[in-house]
Structure 1
Amino acid sequence: MSSFMGSWHQAASITTIAIIFVAFLFELMSPIKSQIDRVQIRRGDLSLVHQSFFSWLDPIVDVAKSRKVVESDLCDLEDKLLSSNLSEDYKRIAEKHTSIDSSLVKYLYASKPTETILTVLCQFGHILTKTSTPLLLQKFLEAPSIQHLLVLFCLRLMGSFLKNHSSFYATILATSFKATFTGEIYNVVFQLSKNTRRKEEAPISLVEADIQRVVDWIVDINDIWAAPLAASLSIGVLVTVIGPMNTAISLIALIVIYPFLQVLGTLMQRTIGNLMERKDIRTQTVTETISKAKTIKIYGWESAFEQRIHHARQDELNSMKVLALVQGLISGIMSLCPQLMASFALFSMWISRGCLTTSCVFPILGLFTILDNSLSTVSASLFGYLSAKTSFRRIQTFILSSENLNSHRSEPTSHGSPSILMRSVSLCSSDGGATKFFLKHIHVDLMGPQLVTLAGSVGSGKTAILDTVAGDLTPQEGIITVNGIMACQSQIPWVMSGSIRENIIFGKEYDPDWYQEVIFACALREDLGILPRGDATIVSPSATNLSGGQKSRITLARAIYSKANILLLDDPLTSIDVNLRQHIIEHVLGPQGIAKNALKIVSTSSSELNKIAHWNLLITDDKKLQMTKPLTYWESENQEASLQESFPLCEKGLSQNCLPRGTHPSSFQDIAVQTPQASPTHEEDGTVPFSVYRQWLSLCHPLGWAVVILCIVCGRLVQLYSTYSLTRLSEASHENQLAHLYTFLASNLLQAFCTMGFIAAAWFLCLLPTACRLHQQLVAGCLNSPIQFFADTTTGQILNRFTNDILKADGPIASYIIVVIITGSITCMITCLLLFTAPKSSPGILVIGYVFFRLQKRYRSTARDIRRIELETRDPLITSLQDAWVGASSIKLFRMDDILVRQFRHKINRNSQSFFIRTCLEQWVDLRLEILTQ
């Protein structure tokens, strides 16, 4: 009966293996597009088998073999990951959970409970399969049989599926978090007052650094609990293998080391917070420098600003040095801990049992290897968790800083005659916690279409009054009532990234006749005639292809085109020459101007404008607002004669100065607008030239990588000798086993020092010097570029290099390099050991190696294309965020915030699509490679 059961189990095991192997071959040989005749597919359209193999990514991988993958080739984003749906989920969570802002894990569960539970369950199953492997190995060594071997294979295969699907559900969590909080940060920008925006730093660092840091942790979110659980299960299995007493003795090492880890963890958290503050300062310095690039180059200040950025970068790198030192100590201690535990356990067993055998030593070593990997994962996960926790707190602090800007104003209305009423309004500033009033008890009644000028000394509060009327500043006291539709022109002209026409129309419906009338009134025709692409010319806040006067007139045209009946103009005549100034006064602000039916409040020092105003508002030295009427201009019997005195230029002369040669207003046709084509990102052939690697390697210390390789070689030789000593130990007699145990303990101590030396050398001799010089080259290349570079390149593209790319070079890329070096050295050591001890396995290793590299090649070409798409869709996000931060006042007043938020959410969806697919592609290749390695 037992022989029948044994043969039945053997047949069942072989059948199971055959089914899995045939399914895998079918997956590799049967492309998914034979079932669905299109590249774009959704995961839910496929069978469960194809979903489990991530086959919905096969069409994209197939496309990459023949051509470049473009955005239209990517799979549609699932509805639950769309930014608009995620925003609704966030609002629902914020209403239900008032304390959700304090816990990242609580938020993830509240936002995506199903995915959170599934990722935990899959990871738990993976841990069970991993910790069961040493027990099966022990049974196989005690009684070798095909059943044990096949069950071991099936168990490891199931573990691979569970691990990758756990990562998939974590990717859904990461994508939803990234899209949700990127959109919420953008939305909060329009809920902050002007004073708050001046105090706060631009939220670019939050989006590029903090959100990315949280996302990186969420992708590996299960490590924070799975690694300790795997370690606990390993210890539990140890109890069954070596007994509770021997296990307790092995835990002495963990008890001794724990206080050191607690101190280092506290120091790490403090250092992470300091590093983020330094990173914010450096990002803000770079942003200010880019925004003033034209002025810097004109005055030759490149060297001074380069030094300023360099000092900010040095402060950031100093924090990174402390962090690298702490991380190296934690990694060394974590690698030493399981080896010490194994040594103590073997010593205890040698004393209690008298002799150690192969069937006892190597399962124990396998369990402690799992424990070693778990504790190493705990080290990395602890660093990631502390970073993510700090970043999430910073993100929530910014989001919760939104203000109620309408507490001192009645709801604006748009019917009837325009009017502005201010009752007992007082404006103040906060300096060190003390409130200082700079304007007190303002009483203003402005009714109907009229021109009102606002004057005062520099810093007296002219701009503050206009911002308060616009609703961008909250008064300390008083009530403001506005009846009408407002538009504004800020003192520092703000243009958004886009064409000149888009800046003037600014979300309104295009009216060709009205547009041409506004262009003429604002004296822009000659400027548009000179530009090669007319009003289709692309501009940005840091545009160098426009002068300050041109930007000022574009923003004035935007306010006039909106047909608002209340215009708030802050020094609109600045940076404009005399002829253009008189033209704008006559055709825009004057009694017969294009804005004659609007209530206009103009901050100005122009005597011509003061003469023709209905009222003059003057801020006096005693912080009062004095309202006076001009002399008798509006009561003059001969207003036309007075106008001729104020505006000596005649219509004919005006045409000659403001229009292209040979052009007359009546004959000027609509300037042709060509939809601007975004300059495509330069596409390579999918490979990185060796010269790039050589250049990157040359940035470190001359002997840096030599020291790193030396530490690695020494560490692997010591590890190999440690394993060899265990082999000798299991074969030696009882009297000679003690010497091998001492050798095993000494080699473990030496290996821990090699690990710490490797990490210290990698950071201090290679990665940190490379990070410093790479950033210096980026700054120098940017500041030494011609002015045209800043006209052709969007702000988002430049800032993306200094934020997202530098962040990856400092963090993930550096960590990946360390992991690749460690993993590569271990792989080489194991391969050499296999070939030396079992030369008959060499054909199988060669075949598996060939398939391995073929899969990697398919993955790399696809991953590069999708990464390129992700960067291309990332730049518009940063550009839009920077535009909103600088121009929030104008955007809100023109009621464009809702429109821009919807557009921004569409941009988020495009970026989420490429990010989600790129991350899932990692699971696609991991699953296939792990199946091969089984």
Structure 2
Amino acid sequence: MSFLFKAIHDLMMFAGPEILKLLIRFVSDAQAPDWQGYFYTGLLFVSACLQTLVLHQYFHICFVSGMRIKTAVIGAVYRKALVITNSARKSSTVGEIVNLMSVDAQRFMDLATYINMIWSAPLQVVLALYLLWLNLGPSIFAGVAVMILMVPFNAVMAMKTKTYQVAHMKSKDNRIKLMNEILNGIKVLKLYAWELAFKDKVMAIRQEELKVLKKSAYLAAVGTFTWVCTPFLVALSTFAVYVTVDKSNVLDAQKAFVSLALFNILRFPLNILPMVISSIVQASVSLKRLRIFLSHEELEPGSIQRRPVKDGGGTNSITVKNATFTWARGEPATLNSISFSIPEGALVAVVGQVGCGKSSLLSALLAEMDKVEGHVALKGSVAYVPQQAWIQNHSLRENILFGRPLRERYYNAVVEACALLPDLEILPSGDRTEIGEKGVNLSGGQKQRVSLARAVYGDSDIYLFDDPLSAVDAHVGKHIFDNVVGPKGMLKGKTRLLVTHSVSYLPQVDVIIVMSGGKVSEMGSYQELLARDGAFAEFLRTYASAEQEQAAEDSSKVVDPEEGGLAGPGGPGKESKHMENGVLVTAAGKPLQRQLSSSSSYSGDVSRHQASTAELQKAGAKEETWKLVEADKAQTGQVKLSVYWDYMKAIGLFLSFLSIFLFLCNHVSALASNYWLSLWTDDPIINGTQEHTNVRLSVYGALGISQGIAVFGYSMTVSIGGIFASRRLHLDLLHNVLRSPMSFFERTPSGNLVNRFSKELDTVDSMIPQVIKMFMGSLFNVIGACIIILLATPIAAVIIPPLGLIYFFVQRFYVASSRQLKRLESVSRSPVYSHFNETLLGVSVIRAFEEQERFIHQSDLKVDENQKAYYPSIVANRWLAVRLECVGNCIVLFASLFAVISRHSLSAGLVGLSVSYSLQVTTYLNWLVRMSSEMETNIVAVERLKEYSETEKEAPWQIPETAPPSTWPHEGRVEFQDYGLRYREDLDLVLKHINVTIHGGEKVGIVGRTGAGKSSLTLGLFRINESVEGEIIIDGVNIAKIGLHDLRFKITIIPQDPVLFSGSLRMNLDPFSQYSDEDVWTALELAHLKSFVSGLPDKLNHECAEGGENLSVGQRQLVCLARALLRKTKILVLDEATAAVDLETDDLIQSTIRTQFDDCTVLTIAHRLNTIMDYTRVIVLDRGEMRECGTPSDLLQQRGLFYSMARDAGLV
């Protein structure tokens, strides 16, 4: 249909020049009857109105088709992202995929608008040349020669444009990828004071991007110069040949202005063709990128045989025979010759050292790896709990239900079994509390329990647990094992595979699989493996030996639960410990448990939390869900003038005003050249020729050259100014985002920020400079046309102002709607990216639960919401264009009418000039409104960038006046003086009245239950959250008075969640390149990573994948330890630093910390009490207050909170 409408429009375009010829002939012929003039005027008006209706029907079809293509591309990319292999994920990063959905999808949409011009532009050129031939004869071949000369030039331009486009997209992908990582790991950047290093990395990529943009801008300036000058050169060369080859050839008004009207028609296809070529080039680049992505290898779910339980087929729930798996085809196998069978309802533990393949085994069973050979069969549905919990940006309840209907009684049982009841009491709206993107307002342990509850609620047949108990402390771990995973838990009768580092649960499992070097080294029951006296027995003996040494060191500190006295060596109070079946047990027969935890301890009897349905949802019964995350907001009303002023300042005021001046020069030259042409056509004909032809031709050419110079000048200034603005706006946005406090990132979905750094910045980079050029050109064209009409027919002054008012009011009415629709479209786009990012992070969980269809449906709904705002903007555009062109058509009508009325007082030249300009007014008005709308809708991008460039900021990074000495802190003394902290103004204090002095070199453990404030204390120490009362003093310096980097560079944390960034391993250890290779290798050796790194082909230059995905969680944690060893600051904070490592590595790390940080102050959030029993002191927090503080032995004697925790852990 669009083809048909476009063809009709193209043919009707040429009616105008033909009717103009008749009108000029009528004015020249004094004897012609008046009705002819009125008839031609009416015909011209009707023709113009029909053109308008046909053209905008065509545009409507094109834009709707483009919208559908964009939607299809987004849908295809999302669906593909759910099925690509892990190796493909490495080659297509999150940044690249986001660009495919935003920038590349937009390229296809733009192409839909221009694609018909491939045949339409040549058709218009051929028809125009044919009519010119009829008008001027063979002289038009001079113009054709000029056009032919431009073809190779345009071809070279197109090739260069494509080269720059590819380079630009590559840089943009790298930048978005890095920004995505920065936003995901912002907390770690702040804790390590690495913002500047990563800012430099982003700016280095951005600099490369801007270099390409600058080259593209220069190319565009040359292109604009040639595109604007080509129609003039065609006209000049044609007229020059026409009047010079034969002296009898006279350039009269009819020939000149009909030719000029045809040249103006010719100008459009010649101008639009480069844009079409550019659009095709950009779309071809995008198509290639899309084809590469859509051609990526997909996972093969069929490689794992899945059959429903009802099919029967043996008693084994999982069967693996001679299976070999690799993460990427062609790479060495990660798992070799794996064979085992697991009967239905069995509880199986998978144990082994860090990096031995435990998590890979679960991934293999989920078909996440490439099966090289062998047979794998699973019977029934599968639920999966990953090692790092994946949390959606929904309420806690929705995270657990995961799209399944609510079964209230079962739901309550699951929440209780997963030890979530006390957490629901703390959360503002109970289980209806929105828990933020990636669960930002939950502790590690809470996130893991929500992840566990999600799996349990699914009531699947097979459960794969990837060390979920590493994120919870001993009491909670025991509660979860007893009530969920263990032989008497909710899942009894289900097949359970539990990856664990905890030996205390092993006697209760049915089968133990021991992994080593990617192979199953042993398998059997607990007793069988002990009897074999193989690797497993050695593993247990090593652990027991290490614990006995620890117990010997701590023996004088352990209180006998019966006697209550201090147990001296060999004294009566000493509880005898011995090996029983290879497990270290106390006299009471309790296994010595490995301490596990999150920031929570499920202290107190669980029974006191047994809640009825009403009690459980008491807090959640509020009418509104408590919201942490702020949705992207749409501004309302007219774009403030300050936004335009901000953009002009970003360009530079001198450059801005110079551009406007050059635009003015260009259009004055254009008007002057056409007015000069009208004077030329009115020259009297003497003896069959016109005098002064050479002068007329020379001046006409000179005016054209001056126009060309002005065009080149404004193209350069606008393009360079656009790059200056891009650089400044991006720098301001990046700097401010990095300077924002953590509360900003907790409230703001990463999709909003990614949207700013991708789509909105792309608008500033590419769209706004182009729109400015077209808007300014259209504005001056309209003003020029009105001036010419008024000069020719002053009576038009009566009608132009009213038409101008109609135009103005229609335009304002439209822009108000269009602007708001653009804002709504931008706002509704952010959830599309947020959902996509969230999906990529949890894709293995989504696939494991077979929820792909539901997530695809959710994505489609979010895209539909986006299109609900976009489609009305298309319709509004057409509504406006039709009405405005009708105003333009009225100008044609009145210009022609007044010319007919005043024909006896007007020269043919002025009539021709006036009507030929009026014929262009419709197009100029249409473009002016489109461009003013585009200007306002695109400048919204600047508004949205400025919005995040002016948010709240945290304290300065450096304060030179109060900077501490370079040797600070020399002692490591930390004093909390009546310290209080809250996360946000509308929330209660999470810490209150903390008074404690920690002396230099002390080793202090910090313990407490969920919400006690342990992590808050460390965040306060790093000023991630600022105090609301009291102060922290380190070595006599009030930390609130110094710069954040001055503080954070001087203290070190090993965080709970190990975060790595894409880049070399060395960069991840030392982003500022402060240390020598020797220092780095020493740190790696002390962190027990030297042998692993030495075995890598690129050693320190080993490229870490996005998020460190090509290292195990345990290895990532060791990298974090190596960072701490490199920094070697006087104060070290440990936040569950060894949760994800095996027992032997854990002991080595604890030993390293004790020896390497012997003279340092160490604060440990103690998730494993056995690791802090030899510490100088222990601080017990409860509900934000310090309840107990003293040596471990003193606190055990007091039989308070610490004693109860030690008892739960089996230490007393």
TM-score range, shorter chain: 0.7 to 0.9
* Partner residue in 1 for 2:224: 331
Distance 1:661 1:340 in 2: 89
From 610, 617, 626, the counterpart of 1:671: 617
User: Structure 1 residues 438 and 225 mapped into 2: Cα distance closer, same or farther (>3 Å)?
Assistant: same
Contact 1:122 1:165 (8 Å CA) reproduced: yes
CA shift in 2, pair 1:429/1:562, >3 Å: closer
Q: Secondary structure at the match of 1:618?
A: strand
Q: In structure 2, how many angstroms separate the alpha carbons of the residues matched to 1:222 and 1:593? A: 67
- Judged with a 3 Å threshold, the aligned counterparts in structure 2 of structure 1 residues 680 and 287 are, in CA distance, closer, same or farther, namely closer
Show the counterpart of 1:892: 847
Distance 1:526 1:306, change over 3 A: farther
Q: Give the letter for the 1:423 counterpart.
A: K
Cα offset, 1:681, TM superposition: 5.4
Within the alignment, does 1:904 sit opposite 2:798 as a pair? no
Instruction: Give the aligned partner of residue 476 of structure 1.
Output: 372
Greater relative CO (CA pairs within 8 A, separation 6+): 1
> Which of 158, 161, 165 pairs up with 1:272?
165
- Alpha-carbon contact 1:542-1:795 (below 8 Å) kept: no
- Count of paired positions: 810
Aligned residue among 466, 484, 490 for 2:362: 466
Look up the match of 2:106: 212
Confirm or deny: 8 A CA contact 1:529 1:660 kept in the other structure. Answer: no
How far apart are residue 819 of structure 1 and its match? Answer: 0.9
Q: Distance in 2 between matches of 1:391 and 1:469?
A: 36
Alignment partner for residue 377 of structure 1, among 272, 284, 292?
272
C-alpha displacement of 1:201? 1.6
Residues 195, 602 of structure 1: alpha-carbon distance in 2 compared, 3 angstrom cutoff: farther
**Alignment correspondent of 1:346:** 239
Distance 1:643 1:303 in 2: 55
For 2:339, what is the secondary structure of its paired residue? strand
Shift of 1:643: 11
SS in 2 for 1:496: coil
Which residue is 1:47 aligned to?
none
Q: Which has the higher mean CA deviation after the structures are superposed, 888-897 or 624-633?
A: 624-633
Q: Distance in 2 between matches of 1:599 and 1:364?
A: 85
Deviates more, 1:183-192 or 1:465-474: 183-192
Note the 1:537-616 alignment, pairs <5 A: 537-616=433-512
The 1:862–1:429 alpha-carbon spacing in structure 2 relative to 1, beyond 3 Å, is closer
Q: How far 1:812 sits from its partner (Å)? A: 2.6
| SS of the residue 1:509 aligns to | coil
The corresponding residue for 2:154 is: 261
Corresponding residue of 2:132: 238
Rounded Cα–Cα distance in structure 2 between residues aligned with 1:662 and 1:524: 13
CA distance in 1, matches of 2:657, 2:495: 74
How far 1:784 moved relative to its partner?
2.4
Cα deviation digits, residues 767-792 of structure 1 (max 9, x gap) = 11111211222223323223222222
Question: Which of 117, 123, 142 does residue 223 from structure 1 map onto?
Answer: 117
Distance in structure 1 (CA, Å) of the matches to 2:112 and 2:483? 59
The alpha-carbon distance between structure 1 residues 781 and 533, as it changes in their structure 2 partners (threshold 3 A), is farther
Name the Cα RMSD after superposition.
2.9
Q: Is 1:357 matched up with 2:261?
A: no
Alpha-carbon shift at residue 804 of structure 1 (Å): 2.1
1:792-824 residue CA offsets vs partner (Å, 9 max, x unmatched): 222322222222222222223332222111111
Tell me the SS of whatever aligns to 2:370: coil
Q: Confirm or deny: 8 A CA contact 2:299 2:368 kept in the other structure.
A: no
| Structure 1 residue 698 corresponds to structure 2 residue 649 | yes
Give 1:411's aligned residue. 306
Matched AA of 1:676:
T
Distance in structure 1 (CA, Å) of the matches to 2:823 and 2:604: 44
**What is the correspondence of 1:407-486 to structure 2 with a 5 Å cutoff?**
407-415=302-310, 419-430=317-328, 434-486=330-382
Question: What TM-score, normalized by structure 1, do the two folds share?
Answer: 0.82
Please report how far the alpha carbon of residue 666 of structure 1 lies from its aligned counterpart in structure 2 after TM superposition. 4.9
Cα deviation, 1:98-122, whole Å, max 9, x if unaligned, reads: xxxxxxxxxxxxxxxxxxxx11111
Could you tell me which residue of structure 2 aligns to residue 9 of structure 1?
A: none
Please identify, of 339-348 and 572-581, the stretch whose mean Cα deviation from structure 2 is larger.
572-581
**How far has the Cα of 1:300 moved from its partner?**
3.0
Answer yes or no: is the 8 Å Cα contact 2:327–2:370 preserved in 1. no
Counterparts of 1:758-777 in structure 2, within 5 Å, are: 758-764=714-720, 766-777=721-732
Q: Indicate which of 201, 205, 209 corresponds to 1:316.
A: 209
Contact 2:392 / 2:438 at 8 angstroms: preserved in 1? no
Structure 1 CA distance, aligned partners of 2:875 and 2:288?
28
Q: After TM superposition, list the pairs within 5 Å mapping 1:186-197 onto structure 2.
A: 186-197=78-89
5 Å matches for 1:597-746? 597-621=493-517, 623=519, 625-631=521-527, 645-646=590-591, 657-658=602-603, 663-666=608-611, 669-672=615-618, 673=620, 674=622, 676=625, 682=633, 684-732=635-683, 734-746=690-702
SS of the aligned residue for 2:303 comes to coil
CA distance in 1, matches of 2:181, 2:219: 33
What CA distance in whole angstroms lies between the structure 1 residues aligned with 2:771 and 2:877? 14
Shift of 1:579: 3.1
CA distance in 2, matches of 1:898, 1:434: 31
Q: Which residue of 1 aligns with 2:955?
A: none
Query: Once the 2 structures are TM-superposed, how far is the Cα of residue 633 of structure 1 from its aligned partner?
Result: 10
2:514 and 2:607 map into 1 onto residues whose CA distance is 44
Residue 904 of structure 1: CA displacement?
2.3
Match of 2:574 in 1: none
Please tell me whether the aligned partners of residues 586 and 592 of structure 2 are also in contact (alpha carbons under 8 angstroms).
no
Higher helix residue share:
1
Percent sequence identity over aligned pairs: 24
Pairwise CA distance, 1:612 = 3.0
- Secondary structure of 2:390's counterpart equals coil
Provide the residue aligned with 1:814 in structure 2.
Answer: 769
Give the superposition deviation at 1:407: 4.0
**Whole-Å separation in 2 of the counterparts to 1:687 and 1:339:** 39
Please state whether the residue corresponding to 2:651 is helix, strand or coil.
coil
Equivalent residue for 2:198, pick from 305, 316, 330:
305
Q: Secondary structure at the match of 1:563?
A: coil
Matching residue of 1:532: 428
Match for residue 791 of structure 1? 746
| Matching residue of 2:51 | 159
Q: What letter corresponds to residue 751 of structure 1 in structure 2? A: Q
Q: Which amino acid aligns with 1:776?
A: L
Bigger fraction of residues in strand: 2
Distance in 1 between residues matched to 2:210 and 2:404, nearest whole Å? 47
In structure 2, C-alpha distance between the alignment counterparts of 1:297 and 1:530, rounded to whole Å = 27
CA 1:141–1:658 in structure 2 vs 1: closer, same or farther (change >3 Å)?
A: farther
- What SS is found at the alignment partner of 1:143? helix
- Name the CA distance, whole Å, in 2 between partners of 1:633 and 1:257: 83
1:181 to 57, 62, 73: 73
Q: Give the match's secondary structure for 1:549.
A: helix
Cα deviation, 1:546-593, whole Å, max 9, x if unaligned, reads 222222221111111111121111121233333333332333222222
Q: Which amino acid aligns with 2:448?
A: S
SS in 2 for 1:475: strand
| Cα displacement string for residues 911-930 of structure 1 (whole angstroms, at most 9, x for unaligned residues) | 22221111121111011000
Contact 1:193–1:472 under 8 Å retained in 2: yes
Go from structure 1 to structure 2 and tell me whether the alpha carbon gap of 1:682 and 1:892 turns closer, same or farther (over 3 Å shift). closer
The letter of the residue matching 2:672 is Y
Post-superposition shift, 1:158? 0.8
Whole-Å separation in 2 of the counterparts to 1:662 and 1:484: 34
Distance 2:488 2:482 in 1: 7
Structure 1 residue ranges, 4+ long, deviating more than 4 angstroms after superposition = 622-625, 632-637, 639-644, 658-663, 677-685
Distance 1:604 1:691, change over 3 A: same
Question: What secondary structure, in the 3-state scheme, does the structure 2 residue paired with 1:645 have?
Answer: coil
State how far apart, in whole Å, the 1-side matches of 2:288 and 2:738 are: 34
Using the TM superposition, give the Cα deviation of residue 159 of structure 1 relative to its aligned residue in structure 2, in angstroms.
0.7
SS at match of 1:498: coil
Larger Rg: 2
Q: Would the aligned equivalents of 1:246 and 1:349 in 2 still touch at CA under 8 Å?
A: yes
Per mean C-alpha deviation after superposition, the further-off stretch among 894-903 and 842-851 is 894-903
Q: Give, in angstroms, the shift of residue 345 of structure 1.
A: 1.0
Return 5+ residue gaps in structure 1 as ranges.
Answer: 1-117, 650-654
- In structure 2, list runs of 5 or more residues that go unmatched: 28-36, 532-579, 595-599, 685-689, 890-1212
